[in-house]
Structure 1
C-alpha cells in the first residue's frame, strides 16, 4: 500500500510541475518569442514604406479622401498600430487574418471581411491580452479621446477612442460595418479592437471602438505624438 501512495504522490508532483511549466511557457516564453517576431515585422514594414509605390491620383470628386488599399492575402502585412496610452514606445504590426498563425505570433490580426484603414466601415482587429506578445493587454485602460494611429504604405490614419463594451464570444455584430447593427449601411470610418475578457480568461470579449478623424501622407511625417517611435529602427 505504501508504494502505491508513493507512486501516486510522485505522479501528482510531476503533474503539478507540468502545469507550472505550461503556465510559465504561456505567460513568459510566448511573449518573448512573439515580441521578437512582431518587432521584426514592424521594422520590415517601416523599411518597405520608404520604397512603396504611390497610389494613383484620386478619382474626380474624391480629392482629400484618405487612400484605401486592397486587403492583402492571408498573412500579408497591412500596417503598424501606435497607441500611446499603452506606452510611449508601443508599436505593433497588423497582419491580414485572425487565425492562430497570425494572432499567436505576429500581433494584431485584421478580420478579413472588415474595412481597411481609412475606408468607410469598420476596420476591425483582434489581439491577445496576456500571452503571445500581449498586444492588447491594456485595452481596458483606454480613455475617451485617446488616439490610435495606423501607419500604412500611404500614410498615417488617426482614430480617436470613443468607448468600450463587454460582450459574449458569440456576439459578432461588434465587427459589422456599423458595429452592433448588422446590415446597416456604414457612413463613418470606425476602428474596432477586440480581445479576451477578463484579463486572464476568455469567457467574454472586450471591444474598443474608435472613430477616424484625420489622415496625412507619409511625406508629411508622422503625427507629433508618435514621431519618436516611428523614427526608431
Structure 2
C-alpha cells in the first residue's frame, strides 16, 4: 500500500520558512533610515577628503604649473646678488583678467615657496585655481599706492596659510617680467570683511593721497572661517632689475 504524497495546500505554500519571519514594519523603516545615514556619512566623508586634501593637491599642481609657464617666458637670471635700487621702479602694465603676471615669494615660508599672482580676485578662475589674486582697483606692483592681493588660507593650495607668522621686517618679494620688488612687513591686523579700506591707497584712510609704495596681503580668518580677515601691510624697501641677479634672500645656500 503506497503512502500519501506530501501536502501541497495553498496554506503550506504561503507559510514562511522556520526562522525567517518577516520583520515588523517599524524595524524595516529603521533599517532603511540607517542605510541612508550610512550612505550620507560616506558621501560626507568623501566631501571632506576632497575639501581638505584633494583641492590642495590640485591647487598646488596648478600653482606650480603657472609659475613654471611664467618662468619660461622670462629671460635667464644669474644666481648672484643683484644691486638694490631705491630710485623710481619701471612702470608695470596691467594684466588681463585672470592672467598670471608675477610670482610671489616669502622667504620665511621656505625656499620652495613660489605662488603665481593673477589679475583679479574671481574665485573660479583665480583663487580656486591656485593663484594669488590682485585687486584690480589697487596699484600695480612697485607703484605709489597699495598693491593689494588676496589668497586662500585653507584649501586650493592655501597660499596664505601661514600669514599669521609674518612679523615686522620680514620680506615679501614679487617678481615680474621686469624686476624684483622687495617689500618689508610693517604691520598686521584682523578686521571685519566690510572694512575694505585696508586696501585703500593709504591703508585705513581712503581719503588720503598715497606717497609711498605699499603691499597688502588679505585672507580669511580664523582658519576654516570667513568671519574676519587677516591683513598684512608692507612697504617697498628696494627693487632689482630682473636680469641683474637675485634678491639676497633668494640666493641658493652657499652663494
> What TM-score does the superposition give when structure 1 sets the normalisation length?
0.90
Partner Cα distance (1:23, 1:202) in 2? 18
Equivalent residue number for residue 63 of structure 2: 38
Q: CA deviation at 1:228?
A: 3.4
Q: CA deviation at 1:64?
A: 2.9
Equivalent residue number for residue 91 of structure 1: 114
Equivalent residue number for residue 76 of structure 1: 99
Equivalent residue number for residue 82 of structure 2: none
Deviations 1:141-194 (A, max 9, x none): 111110001000111000001111111111111111111111211111110000
Deviations 1:63-85 (A, max 9, x none): 93001212111011221010011
Q: CA deviation at 1:224?
A: 2.1
- Asked if 1:12 is matched to 2:37, the reply is yes
Q: CA deviation at 1:88?
A: 2.0
Contact persistence 1:31–1:134 (CA under 8 A): yes
Contact persistence 1:95–1:106 (CA under 8 A): no
Q: 1:158 aligns with which of 177, 182, 185?
A: 182
Contact persistence 2:75–2:243 (CA under 8 A): no
Aligned pairs for 1:133-212 within 5 A:
133-212=157-236
Q: CA deviation at 1:16?
A: 1.7
From the CA coordinates, give the structure whose radius of gyration is larger: 2
Which protein, 1 or 2, shows the higher relative CO under an 8 Å CA cutoff with sep ≥ 6?
2
Q: Could you say what secondary structure the match of 1:38 adopts?
A: helix
| Count of aligned positions | 218
Q: 1:25 aligns with which of 50, 62, 67?
A: 50
**Unaligned runs of at least 5 residues, structure 1:** 52-62
Partner Cα distance (1:164, 1:18) in 2? 39
Q: CA deviation at 1:104?
A: 0.4
Partner Cα distance (1:14, 1:76) in 2? 41
- Asked if 1:3 is matched to 2:36, the reply is no
Q: Could you say what secondary structure the match of 2:129 adopts?
A: coil
Aligned pairs for 1:33-72 within 5 A:
33-50=58-75, 64-72=87-95
Partner Cα distance (1:209, 1:19) in 2? 38
> What TM-score does the superposition give when structure 2 sets the normalisation length?
0.82
* Cα RMSD after superposing both structures: 1.5
Q: CA deviation at 1:14?
A: 1.6
The ranges of structure 1 where at least 4 consecutive aligned residues each deviate by more than 2 angstroms after the TM superposition are none
